């Protein structure tokens, strides 16, 4: 039997124990295994096939050379951990799925920045719910569109920040009606996708499970020294 790809998952040290089981379920449904990483613990990127950078507190603007303009709760130790993990994953060609904060960290690690108060910037009413009450439009001709189609998608939202300037090698894969970025993706190997919502709470939906399937497929391809994006495209066709 083929080994199930091992996925390292970053979480909050304080609250990650509540979130990790949902992410682990998404990974398991896709044919993988998940282990939890948190600030203060040892994270061995070399020992996993792929990475999920999970949600949590806001990210310090110091990471992209800005000053804090909100009263957000920050987690600098986790910021440092996840920056290293993403850089290491990219260096060694390991696939990454960023969830909410994780999508923002992916963007920052690749040289981008954030809107610290995204809802104020876009003049949009703030959502804060794990229920799918927010509409997003997936951009055509993206890997996310291959995986989930271009039909409008209802998602949840638990964030205050959002992607502003894109990091190197990234493109926008989805926006909400106000124009706020809701998903980003790498245009080349290794596979990397970041979504502003929390698919781990929506695994009853086929389109959300497809995100975990794509990561696990890319992770399996990486472990077998095969092209990741071709494997993700194959997942999209089934």
Convert the pLDDT of each residue in 99-111 to its tens digit.
999 999 999 999 9
Q: How far apart are CA 35 and CA 176, in angstroms?
A: 32
Please compute the mean of the pLDDT values over residues 16-45 and round it to a whole number. Answer: 94
What pLDDT score does 235 carry?
82
Contact in structure between 201 and 130 (CB atoms under 8 Å): yes
Residue 85 has pLDDT above 60, yes or no: yes
Smallest CA-to-CA distance from 30 within 9, 47, 7 is with: 7
Average pLDDT estimate for 153-171 = 97
Asked which of 4-13, 14-23, 61-70, 118-127 is least confident by mean pLDDT, the reply is: 118-127
Q: Which of 44, 54, 23 is nearest to 88 (CA)?
A: 44
Structure tokens at 177: 């009606």
Average pLDDT rounded to a whole number, residues 57-80: 91
3-class SS of residue 72: coil
Calculate ∠ Cα 160-12-40, nearest 5°.
Answer: 135
Residue 124 located in a structural domain: yes
Catalytic residues, by residue number, are 100, 198, 200
Q: Does the residue 153 lie in any domain?
A: yes
Does residue 1 form part of some domain? no
* Both tokens assigned to 154: 């209802």
Mean of the per-residue pLDDT values of the chain: 94
> What average pLDDT does the segment 206-234 reach?
95
pLDDT tens-digit profile of 115-127?
A: 999 888 888 888 7
The mean pLDDT value for 52-76 works out to 91
Residue 23 — very low, low, confident or very high, per pLDDT cuts 50/70/90?
A: very high
Mean predicted confidence (pLDDT) in 140-146: 98
For 131, other C-beta atoms within 10 Å of its C-beta total: 12
Q: How far is CA 189 from CA 92, 185, 230, in A?
A: 11, 11, 10
Whether 104 and 163 have beta carbons less than 8 Å apart is answered as yes
Q: What CATH code is carried by the domain that includes residue 133?
A: 3.40.50.880
Contact predicate 191/207, CB 8 Å? no
Residue 27 within any structural domain of the chain: yes
Does 64 fall in a domain?
yes
How does residue 34 score in pLDDT terms, banded at 50, 70 and 90? very high
In this predicted model, what pLDDT tens digit does every residue of 212-222 receive, in sequence order?
999 999 999 99
Contact 122, 175 (CB under 8 A): no
**Which position has the token pair 């000053």?**
67
Domain presence at residue 148: yes
Cis peptide before 163 (omega within 30 of 0): no
Instruction: Check residues 70 and 195 and name the one with the higher pLDDT.
Output: 195
Residue among 44, 30, 28 nearest 213 (CA): 30
Q: How many C-beta atoms surround the C-beta of residue 173 within 10 A?
A: 24
Mean pLDDT for the stretch of residues 117-144: 92
Task: Domain count for the chain, please give it.
Answer: 1
Q: Are 118 and 167 in contact (CB under 8 A)?
A: no
User: Cα separation of 128 and 123, whole Å?
Assistant: 16
Range of the domain at 169: 6-236
Residue 159 lies in a domain: yes
Question: What pLDDT does residue 1 have?
Answer: 46
Mean pLDDT across 158-176: 97
- In this predicted structure, the answer to whether residue 71 has a pLDDT above a threshold of 70 is yes
pTM score: 0.95
> What are the tokens at 132?
């799918």
């Amino acid at each position: 039997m083929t080994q199930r790809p091992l996925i390292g998952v970053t979480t909050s040290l304080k609250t990650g124990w509540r979130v990790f089981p949902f992410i682990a379920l998404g990974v398991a449904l896709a044919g993988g295994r998940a282990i939890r990483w948190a600030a203060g613990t040892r994270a061995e990127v070399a020992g996993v096939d792929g990475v999920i950078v999970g949600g949590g507190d806001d990210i310090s603007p110091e990471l992209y050379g800005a000053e804090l303009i909100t009263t957000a709760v920050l987690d600098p130790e986790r910021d440092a951990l996840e920056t290293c993990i993403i850089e290491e994953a990219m260096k060694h060609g390991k696939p990454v799925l960023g969830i909410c904060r994780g999508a923002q960290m992916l963007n920052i690690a690749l040289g981008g920045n954030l809107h610290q108060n995204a809802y104020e910037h876009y003049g949009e009413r703030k959502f804060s719910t794990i229920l799918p009450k927010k509409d997003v439009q997936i951009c055509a001709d993206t890997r996310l569109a291959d995986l989930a189609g271009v039909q409008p998608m209802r998602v949840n939202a638990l964030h205050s920040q959002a992607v502003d300037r894109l990091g190197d090698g990234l493109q926008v894969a989805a926006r909400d009606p106000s124009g706020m970025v809701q998903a980003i993706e790498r245009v080349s190997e290794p596979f990397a996708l970041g979504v502003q919502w929390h698919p781990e709470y929506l695994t009853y939906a086929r389109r959300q499970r497809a995100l975990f399937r794509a990561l696990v497929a890319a992770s399996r391809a990486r472990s077998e020294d095969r092209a990741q994006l071709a494997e993700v495209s194959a997942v999209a066709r089934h």
